[in-house]
A and B are shown apart, each in its own frame.
Chain A
Amino acid sequence: MTRLSRRAFHQLGLGAALVSTASGRAFAQAPELVIGAANPMSGVFAFAGVEGFEGGRDHFEFVNRAGGVGGRRIRYVNEDSGYRVDNAVAIFTRITSQHQTPVFFGDSTGFQKAINPELNRRGSTVMAGASFASEIDNPQAFPNQWIPGPNYSDQFRVLLRYIASQKKGASVVFVHSDTEFGRDPIAAGEAEARRLELNVVEKIVTQPGSVDVSGDVLKIRRRNPDYVIFHGYVLQPIPEFMAQARQAGMTSRFMGTFYSTDTVLMNRAGAAADGYMGVSCYNFDANAQGAQVDAIRAANVGKTRTHAYYQGWMNAMLAVEVLRRTLAANEELNAVNMMKHARALKNYDTGGVVGVPISMVGNSFPHGRVYQYSAADKVLKPASDWITISAGA
């Protein structure tokens, strides 16, 4: 029997390794495009985080089924941030150190501001996420981020323009939380109200954690403003405010910005939320047409998706478009090249996700529409046409 010497054994092993490597190269697929995310799958913002993650996931699956981006599949790597900045920073560091990550989705304004210097220093990753903060809508300070819709100030402008179209010289009350999030659009809202000759009769500031809004309702009861706009809240205390205002005989219409108008939360509030109006940049019209809304419907048979899901889908769609354009131009996937293509998005057809062609202005897409919640049907119904805020606003 022929014995295999140790030397021969090693030579055979080396040969086998070389053959396998060579054949591996011959059959290798194009490398995946990794998109990272720190979504708040738990914690106080989970209602939006889970939907946002699923919106992104469904869009990437839709793209992968169609062959990916330039033949490269997308791999979506998500971790739960718990809506904590320190967690999100750790997730960002972990994912970007393990993978080349051209796009990363953040979970909050706090994280997106905290990570911004590092993002700019690296120059390899662009970011979008859950934030609509006006501060981030600044290409000089935040050159590598975009906002998947109008910033909070522009959301206020959409609401105020709707009000102006309904009643000339209407009286308006702003109710906002005493947080950075709550204060964001107030100054811009006042300026816009002045420009539209609307009358801001009161601004009410509520403390985080405050439970009783009865004093705040009493403050505006006799003024009975035409409209009350909420900002900086996740559900509470809006239903209670509305219920007490109705008890007090007020006939005001109540409105809010993006995160105050989530259908999931409105459904929890029930009848108290009936008639509430809110601004969104996404198209919840059941008759909306387009390839992307068709894909959303196909992925969600029997489900009603709202704001955060569409936000996740929109961010994913924009990321794919930016990657596609950068790869098609045969350019390196770095932040400068990707943001150049993001800023070149003008009159971009979102396939029905937004009801009008969108353009990036600053870091955002300033298009929105006012919806009204129907408690009986448990849906948001369009109350206005699409409103675009011009760059000079």
Chain B
Amino acid sequence: MAIEFIDIVETSLAGLGTGSLMALTGVAFVIIYKATKVINLAIGEMLMIGAFVFYGFSAGLALPIWASVPATLVVAALIGGVIERTMIRPLLKDNPVSVFMVTIGLTSVLIGVVELVWSAEPRRLPEFLPQQPVLLGDAFIPSKTAYSFLIASAVMAVLITVFAFWRGGIALRATATDRAAASSVGIDVPGVFSFSWMLAATVAALAGILVGSVGGISSAMGLFGLSVFVVVIVGGLDSILGALIAGLFIGWLEAMVGRFMGGEFKLLATFSILLIVLVVRPYGLFGTHEIERL
């Protein structure tokens, strides 16, 4: 069957929609890495617990959406703060592998908490995004995909602006570069650590709400984090802009491969890109190239 131009446009738009959610989650990962150099393998599960907290407020307590979203973000920030203070900070002076292992353990803890509170059964979030499909000319975009893309784009634009110009963003970059120097000029380094985890948890929770609204929620939805790791490695572990561009690209690529080659080839394409980037540019497309002098 011949490939029509409108097919390519529609599939590209759908892919960008999914990619924006990957990018948003990738940004959450990058925020933590930029500030603390911690590779947080539990980012998918932080997204998941945010989605379930939202489910608890909106479906369990039947709060309106305008109350459920901010309440979820506050709870997510608290969870992020508690994780940093109790599990991450005590280990920051140790071998980075210890912290890495803790984040692996954290995935099991978060899945366990969700299954204890909400069980492992898949659920659907209450419908809160507009139901009417969006049409760009002849191109059809499912409503949730379109509105998720808009929300994720707006949040990322705010984050990029804030980190570029706000003093907090500069403090975060300074802490990432040299903790001792940052501390010597009066930056509250422990505060920056806590702030980065709280902010990342908040962003991940927002991504979880959007991902859950599109595909439903379950204790296994942390698998979404697998594609996000590809995004942050391709974009560069410490680049918010890199996460944004790589997220959109990977989302687009998966959609095009799924549409024109078949869904079974999606992961093959994604991980092929990962392999190529690791070989050619191991610090990512936009990551900092650290030169080690021996």
Interface residues of A (CB under 8 A from B): 42-47, 178, 204-219, 221, 234-237, 239-240, 244, 247-248, 265, 268-270, 272
Contacts and interface: CB of A to CB of B under 8 A. Distances in A.
Given A44-B218, A213-B215, A247-B143, A208 B223 contact: yes
Contact of A236 (B122, B133, B258, B262): B122
A218 B11 contact: yes
Contact-size category for B: 35 or more
B97 interface: no
A42 B219 CA distance: 12
A214 B224 CA distance: 16
Interface string B8-29: 0011001101100100000000
Contacts of A214: 14, 17-18, 141-142, 144-145, 214
B262 A237 contact: no
Given A44-B219, A214-B18, A217-B142, 4 more contacts: A218-B14, A235-B124, A237-B216, A240-B216
A29 to B, nearest CB: 39
A44 B223 CA distance: 14
B221 A211 contact: yes
Contact of A205 (B133, B143, B224, B264): B264
B263 A178 contact: yes
A139 to B, nearest CB: 32
Nearest to A271: B127
Interface string B41-81: 00000000000000000000000000000000000000000
B219 to A, nearest CB: 7
B214 A216 contact: no
A205 B140 contact: no
B115 interface: yes
Interface string B247-274: 0000000110011001110110000000
Contacts of A204: 263
A212 B145 contact: yes
B121 interface: yes
A25 to B, nearest CB: 48
B123 interface: yes
B119 interface: yes
24 contacts: A44-B219, A45-B120, A46-B120, A178-B263, A205-B264, A206-B263, A207-B263, A209-B220, A211-B214, A212-B145, A214-B18, A214-B141, A215-B14, A215-B18, A215-B254, A218-B10, A236-B122, A237-B216, A240-B144, A240-B215, A244-B144, A268-B122, A268-B123, A270-B124
A249 to B, nearest CB: 8
Contacts of A212: 14, 17-18, 21, 145, 214-215
Nearest to A221: B140
Most buried by A among B131, B142, B224: B142
A247 B131 CA distance: 8
Contacts of B220: 44, 209
B199 interface: no
A46 B119 contact: yes
A212 B224 CA distance: 10
Contacts of B200: none
Q: Which 9 A-B pairs have the closest CB atoms?
A: A209-B223, A211-B215, A205-B263, A214-B14, A236-B216, A212-B18, A215-B255, A214-B142, A247-B133
Interface of B: 7, 10-11, 14-15, 17-18, 21, 115, 119-124, 131-133, 140-145, 211, 214-216, 218-221, 223-224, 226, 254-255, 258-259, 262-264, 266-267
Contacts of A210: 215, 263, 266
A178 B267 CA distance: 11
B30 to A, nearest CB: 20
A136 B120 CA distance: 27
B120 A240 contact: no
Nearest to A233: B122
A269 B142 contact: no
Contacts of B224: 209, 211
B133 A235 contact: no
Contacts of B11: 215, 218-219
A6 B132 CA distance: 94
Contacts of B115: 42-43
Most buried by A among B140, B220, B267: B140
A218 B7 contact: yes
Nearest to A176: B263
A68 to B, nearest CB: 35
B76 to A, nearest CB: 19
B142 A247 contact: yes
Contacts of B122: 44, 234-236, 265, 268
Most buried by B among A44, A47, A212, A213: A212
A265 to B, nearest CB: 7
Contacts of A215: 11, 14-15, 18, 254-255, 258-259
Most buried by B among A204, A209, A214, A218: A214
Nearest to A234: B122
Contacts of B219: 44
A248 B133 contact: yes
A272 B123 CA distance: 13
B267 A235 contact: no
Nearest to A82: B120
A47 B121 contact: yes
Contacts of A265: 121-122
Contacts of B124: 235, 239, 268-270, 272
Contact of A218 (B140, B223, B267): B140
B223 A205 contact: no
A205 B167 CA distance: 48
A239 B132 CA distance: 16
A218 B259 contact: yes
Most buried by B among A42, A208, A219, A237: A219
A209 B221 contact: yes
A43 B112 CA distance: 10
Contact of A46 (B121, B144, B264): B121
B6 to A, nearest CB: 9
